[in-house]
Amino acid sequence: MLNTKDVKAGEGGLSKTLKPGNVKVKINSVVLEPNTFKPGSYHVVCNVETEPIEGFVGFAIDKNNPSLGNHAGQIGKVKAGQYSFADGATKSGIPVYRDNDIMTHIKRICLAVGTNWWDGTDGKYKTIEALVEAFNNDKPFKDIYIETCLAGKKYKNDKGYDNYDLFFAKYSGGKSGFSSDPAKVITFNEKEHVIEKAPENVASFDGNNAANTGTGAGPVNNDFKL
């Protein structure tokens, strides 16, 4: 006979943080994060959340203010790409510029969420830091869900559990890592989109800090300037 008295529910279950895959998310905030391994370079980080999950209790929205409640979906930090944005040149000698490439990424977010926020930016901001801060404060992406392909570096966090340093999958075959149209988003492939080698000295992501470190977004081609 089966002994059912001591079977417990609610242990384990769905992770509160996102893993690589094709995921529908909204962007809660967009911030610049310095890459400590490359002075002067930045990651552009989207803090994202999935659609609400029935019966799910996510991380606290603010651990210092319990009255705000908990996230209704899984959350994660997603960098623009695998490498940070920096001034430099490609292997073939083509120059790349940090600020222009960051602006390209912000404009692509605007296109994905269907906002005209970008139209009013020309000549308005003196620095890339000011532009991204304004974008985050205005939040034209608020509560708009987009389709994504999340890639990531797999590592063990400080508690010994598997975790991922997430980034949007690289543009390939006419498809990108995020879009409003699922047909324009790359199909997730674990062999291509999960990197097993772990970054060192990575703290666990608890939903309330900027825990994941290492390299993030990379140079992208662009044809516009502020």
Domain assignment present for 67: yes
pLDDT score at 2: 58
Q: Which domain holds residue 46?
A: 21-195
Domain assignment present for 6: no
In the DSSP assignment, the letter for residue 199 is P
pLDDT tens for 130-182 read: 999 999 999 999 999 999 999 999 998 888 888 999 999 999 999 999 999 99
Domain assignment present for 140: yes
pLDDT score at 3: 55
C-beta of residue 54 within 8 angstroms of C-beta of residue 139: no
End-to-end CA distance of the chain: 72
Q: Beta-carbon neighbour count of residue 201 at 10 Å? A: 8
pLDDT score at 27: 98
C-beta of residue 24 within 8 angstroms of C-beta of residue 147: yes
Q: Is 209 helix (H, G, I), strand (E, B) or coil?
A: coil
Domain assignment present for 205: no
C-beta of residue 141 within 8 angstroms of C-beta of residue 30: yes
Domain assignment present for 16: no
The domain total for the chain is 1
Q: Beta-carbon neighbour count of residue 110 at 10 Å? A: 18
pLDDT score at 138: 98
Domain assignment present for 101: yes
Domain assignment present for 214: no
Domain assignment present for 108: yes
pLDDT score at 211: 34
Low-confidence residues in the chain, pLDDT < 50: 7-11, 198-199, 201-205, 208-226
**pTM of the entire predicted model:** 0.81
